[in-house]
Amino acid sequence: MYVLLASDPLALAGQIAAIVLLLFMLVDILVGLALAVALLFGLSWLREKAALLKKLRPVVDSVNITSVAAIKGEELPPIGNETKTEKIAHAAALVPAYTRTVEQKVEHGSDRVAGAVIEFRARTVMVTGTLKALFLPGLTNRPRLPAWQEVPVLGEEHGIDNVAKSLAEPPAIKAIDVPAPPPARG
C-alpha cells in the first residue's frame, strides 16, 4: 500500500473519501442482503399459508353443504369410515340443527307461558267483575260527567244548531225571582 506524505493534502482527502465510500457500499450490500433474505422467508411462509387455504376450501364447502342440509331437515350421511374432513363437516353440521331444535323448543315454551299468563289474568278480571256485579251492584264505579257536560235529551222541535250550542257551552245559571214577603203591618 502506498501512503502519501502529508505534503499532498488532496491525495490524502481522496483516500479518506474512498474508505468512506467503501464503508457505505458495505453497509448498502449488507442491508440489501438482509432485505432479500427477509423477503425470501416471508414469501415462503406466505406460500405455505396459501397451500393450507387451498386444502381448507373443500372442507369449508363440505361443512356448508352439510349444515344447509341439516337446517333443512334432510338426513345426514351416516358416520362410517370417513376422512377427517368429512368428520369435521358432519360435526359442524350438527351444530345448526341442534341450535334450531333448541330455538323451536324455547319458542314453544315461551308461547305456552305467555298464553297461560294471559289466560290467568283474563280469568282473574272476569271473576272480580262477576263478584262485584253480584254482591255490590250499587257500588260499581261509573264515570259521571259534570252537569254542564252531560248531553241534553232534546226532542225533534229543537234544531241541530241548538244541540251544537248546548254541547259547546255550559248552560247559563238563571236567576230565580223569589217574591218578596209582604210588609209587616204593625
Concatenating the DSSP letter of every residue in 59-126 gives HHHHHHHHHHHHHHTPPPPPPSS--HHHHHHHHHHHHHHHHHHHHHHHHHHHHHHHHHHHHHHHHHHH
Span 157-165, average pLDDT: 54
Percent of the chain whose pLDDT exceeds 70: 66
Q: Is residue 185, in this structure, part of any structural domain at all?
A: no
pLDDT of res. 173: 62
pLDDT of res. 57: 82
Query: Residue 32 — very low, low, confident or very high, per pLDDT cuts 50/70/90?
Result: very high
Q: How many domains does the chain have?
A: 1
Q: Is residue 2, in this structure, part of any structural domain at all?
A: no
Q: Is residue 66, in this structure, part of any structural domain at all?
A: yes
Q: Is residue 169, in this structure, part of any structural domain at all?
A: no
This model's pTM is above 0.85: no
- Which of the given ranges, 36-40, 134-138, 167-171, has the highest pLDDT on average? 36-40
- Which of the given ranges, 3-17, 86-100, 103-117, has the highest pLDDT on average? 103-117
- Residues 56, 77: Cα–Cα separation, whole Å: 21
Q: Is residue 116, in this structure, part of any structural domain at all?
A: yes
Span 84-111, average pLDDT: 79
Question: Are 109 and 82 within 8 A, CB to CB?
Answer: no
Domain that holds residue 74: 9-136
Question: Are 63 and 87 within 8 A, CB to CB?
Answer: no
Q: Is residue 119, in this structure, part of any structural domain at all?
A: yes
